[in-house]
């Protein structure tokens, strides 16, 4: 079920014409669908029915507080990876006992903040981090619940920049050293070891790597229990992929993923957490942009948009594919035209798509980038002093700006000039 469809010749987000949002907020902008976010969260929640579980949304994929509140109100927990994300989750009203704190480089300050504000667990990733957390918790007279993230040395078969489960990645402790590290943690004050954490990568389009990793975690659970540890919780990470190129991609469904979890770790009687980000927010959002010029080059046509790599960096950074479609529905059978679709930023890397066939468009026409709800707005910047673009949330026939476009004054006045200049 897709909530970004053509109706009466116009692309809609739920019951709102995208063109009407553009007329109100200007372009470019992101728009998210409440119905899609809700549906995707529920798919995971339902897929784990029968297990004691918590779906901890990976906030890094889209951390707008409206999105967080919407998901939290449905019962979601949050996976945070920085003090800033922790504070955002709290500001959106997420209770501390539904927040898990991941990441390889947590600072003293971040640990203190989360212990004082309330935390479900820290997913710790190294021995130095375990030692520091023990010190921080002890100094606060607290006990910090922890899982230890293990690196199972499994190939996630995804883009190299987003694979995290191989032994040469910076994440987790080698699974071969787990017994020693758990023994060390169990002897430290201020810590309560509650479970095991694993996350092998993002945009996984096959179940097999998950299966390999989860089987290793199940085996480790038995070993650690035999060593006397109380392993009552398994955090199985996120990473289930989405179809970006709809015509030829069909990644596994959350139900299949849920069945795999039940099959591999269901017998252990553990509480299960998962940390999906992209599958919840990715196809719940589009980015809308306006064509500034159509320019004829020596041997190609360039579509120059008002959105750029600073607004959606995934194509420039990972060579990622995003479907691009006109906001006005093309007449049926209209022949497609081949364009290089680019932004106005001053580097050739500012290219969204090369030699892409889409229906013909002209200056001032609107186009939409699909699958832009995850790792879109959150990865944007003000490169070339381009203001961060607004985010809009639709709900049936209503829409609201959930992050406005800053003014140039706001951006420029953030700099301060030293007195000696």
237, 258, 326, 390: which one binds ligand LLP (CB under 6 A): 237
Within residues 156-195, the interface with ligand LLP by CB under 6 A covers 162
User: Cα separation of 353 and 246, whole Å?
Assistant: 16
Task: Kindly write out the interface string for residues 123-162 of this chain, putting x where it contacts ligand LLP by CB under 6 A and - elsewhere.
Answer: ---------------------------------------x
- The structure tokens listed for 313 are 């960096």
28, 145, 190, 276: which one binds ligand LLP (CB under 6 A): 276
User: Cα separation of 177 and 189, whole Å?
Assistant: 21
- Active-site annotation holder among 1, 250, 346, 421: 346
14, 275, 311, 350: which one binds ligand LLP (CB under 6 A): 275
Answer yes or no whether residue 199 interacts with ligand LLP by CB under 6 A.
yes
Q: How many CA atoms lie within 13 A of 190 on its CB side?
A: 17
The nearest distance, CB 275 to ligand LLP, in angstroms, is 4
77, 165, 190, 238: which one binds ligand LLP (CB under 6 A): 238
Answer yes or no whether residue 235 interacts with ligand LLP by CB under 6 A.
no
Answer yes or no whether residue 285 interacts with ligand LLP by CB under 6 A.
no
- Cα 306 versus chain centre, distance: 24
Start-to-end CA span in the chain (Å)? 58
Within residues 287-316, the interface with ligand LLP by CB under 6 A covers 314
Buried b / exposed e along 41-52 (16+ C-beta atoms within 10 A): bebbbebbeebe
The nearest distance, CB 23 to ligand LLP, in angstroms, is 30
Is 346 considered catalytic here? Answer: yes
What residue spans of 95-207 are helical by DSSP H? 108-117, 127-139, 178-186
Answer yes or no whether residue 106 interacts with ligand LLP by CB under 6 A.
no
Q: Find the angle CA(222)-CA(228)-CA(229) to the nearest 5 degrees.
A: 75
| Identity of the residue, 57 or 399, whose beta carbon is nearer to ligand LLP in the bound complex | 57
Q: Which residues contact 257 (CB under 8 A, 6 or more apart)?
A: 47, 207, 210, 240
Q: Find the angle CA(211)-CA(161)-CA(153) to the nearest 5 degrees.
A: 35
| Identity of the residue, 324 or 361, whose beta carbon is nearer to ligand LLP in the bound complex | 324
Answer yes or no whether residue 102 interacts with ligand LLP by CB under 6 A.
yes
Instruction: Identify the three-state secondary structure at position 92.
Output: coil
Under the rule (CB under 6 A), what is the footprint of ligand LLP? 58, 60-61, 79, 102, 162, 199, 202-203, 237-239, 275-279, 314, 318, 375
Residues with catalytic annotation? 346
């Amino acid at each position: 079920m897709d909530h970004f469809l053509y109706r009466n010749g116009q692309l809609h987000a739920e019951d709102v014409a995208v063109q009407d949002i553009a007329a109100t907020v200007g372009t470019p902008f992101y728009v998210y669908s409440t119905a899609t976010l809700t549906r995707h969260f529920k798919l995971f929640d339902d897929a784990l029915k029968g297990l004691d579980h918590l779906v901890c949304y990976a906030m890094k994929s889209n951390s707008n507080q409206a999105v967080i509140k919407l998901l939290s109100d449905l019962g979601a927990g949050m996976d945070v990876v920085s003090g800033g994300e922790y504070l955002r989750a709290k500001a959106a009203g997420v209770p501390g006992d539904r927040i898990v704190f991941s990441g390889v480089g947590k600072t003293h300050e971040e640990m203190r903040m989360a212990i004082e504000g309330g935390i479900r667990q820290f997913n710790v990733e190294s021995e130095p981090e375990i030692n520091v957390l023990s010190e921080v918790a002890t100094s606060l007279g607290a006990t910090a619940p922890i899982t230890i993230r293990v690196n199972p040395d499994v190939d996630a078969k995804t883009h190299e920049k987003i694979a995290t489960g191989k032994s040469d990645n910076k994440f987790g402790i080698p699974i071969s050293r787990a017994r020693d590290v758990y023994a060390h943690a169990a002897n430290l004050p201020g810590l309560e070891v509650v479970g095991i954490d694993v996350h092998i990568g993002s945009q996984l389009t096959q179940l097999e790597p998950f299966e390999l990793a989860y089987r290793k975690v199940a085996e480790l659970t038995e070993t650690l229990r035999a060593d006397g540890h109380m392993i009552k919780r398994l955090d199985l990470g996120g990473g289930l992929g989405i179809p970006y190129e709809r015509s030829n991609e069909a990644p596994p469904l959350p139900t299949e993923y849920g069945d795999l979890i039940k099959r591999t770790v269901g017998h252990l009687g553990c509480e299960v957490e998962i940390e999906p980000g992209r599958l919840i927010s990715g196809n719940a959002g589009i980015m809308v942009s306006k064509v500034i010029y159509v320019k004829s080059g020596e041997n190609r046509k360039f579509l120059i948009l008002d959105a750029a790599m600073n607004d959606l960096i995934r194509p420039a950074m990972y060579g990622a594919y995003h479907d691009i479609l006109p906001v006005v529905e093309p007449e049926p059978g209209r022949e497609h035209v081949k364009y290089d679709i680019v932004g106005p930023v001053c580097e050739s890397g500012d290219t969204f798509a090369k030699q892409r066939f889409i229906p013909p468009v002209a200056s001032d026409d609107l186009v939409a980038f699909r699958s832009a709800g995850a790792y879109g707005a959150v990865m944007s910047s003000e490169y070339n002093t381009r203001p961060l673009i607004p985010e809009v949330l639709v709900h049936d026939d209503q829409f609201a700006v959930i992050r406005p476009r800053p003014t140039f004054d706001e951006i420029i006045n953030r700099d301060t000039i030293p007195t000696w200049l």
